[in-house]
């Protein structure tokens, strides 16, 4: 089966497509607060999924990492406005140290291809 890699770099690809499954690398974004970063992350997810032949309606699972779990409600306020209400994914959220102190949220997605 063919494997397609989007935005391939020396360390990782931003997305990998295998069969009808799309795997996104953890997405982060710049911004002064969790809400701004979450909006940026979700925009990146929308873009990568579209390029991979999928959409948020086809997300199977989401893993969300917060640098501070006290930001859970702020992140959820953005997530809840974005998520496909008819097709919400399985989801987990946890606190963890992210790659750089400026990052407050990172989201990892697995989705099915559309169709």
DSSP H/E element including 112: strand 105-112
Q: Domains of the chain: which residue ranges?
A: 3-112
Per-residue pLDDT tens digits for 45-69: 999 999 999 999 999 999 999 999 9
Superfamily of domain 3-112 in CATH is RutC-like (3.30.1330.40)
Q: Taking the alpha carbons of 62, 7, 47, 99 in that order, is the dihedral positive or negative?
A: positive
1 pLDDT band, cuts 50/70/90, is confident
Average pLDDT along the chain: 97
pTM: 0.97
């Amino acid at each position: 089966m063919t494997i397609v890699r989007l935005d391939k770099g020396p360390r990782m690809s931003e997305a990998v497509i295998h069969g009808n499954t799309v795997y996104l690398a953890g997405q982060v974004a710049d911004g002064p607060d969790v809400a701004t970063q979450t909006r940026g992350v979700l925009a990146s997810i929308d873009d990568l999924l579209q390029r991979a032949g999928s959409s948020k309606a086809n997300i199977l699972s989401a893993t969300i990492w917060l640098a501070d779990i006290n930001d859970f409600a702020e992140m959820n306020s953005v997530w809840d406005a974005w998520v496909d209400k008819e097709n919400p994914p399985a989801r987990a959220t946890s606190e963890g140290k992210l790659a750089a102190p400026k990052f407050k949220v990172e989201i990892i997605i697995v989705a099915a291809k559309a169709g």
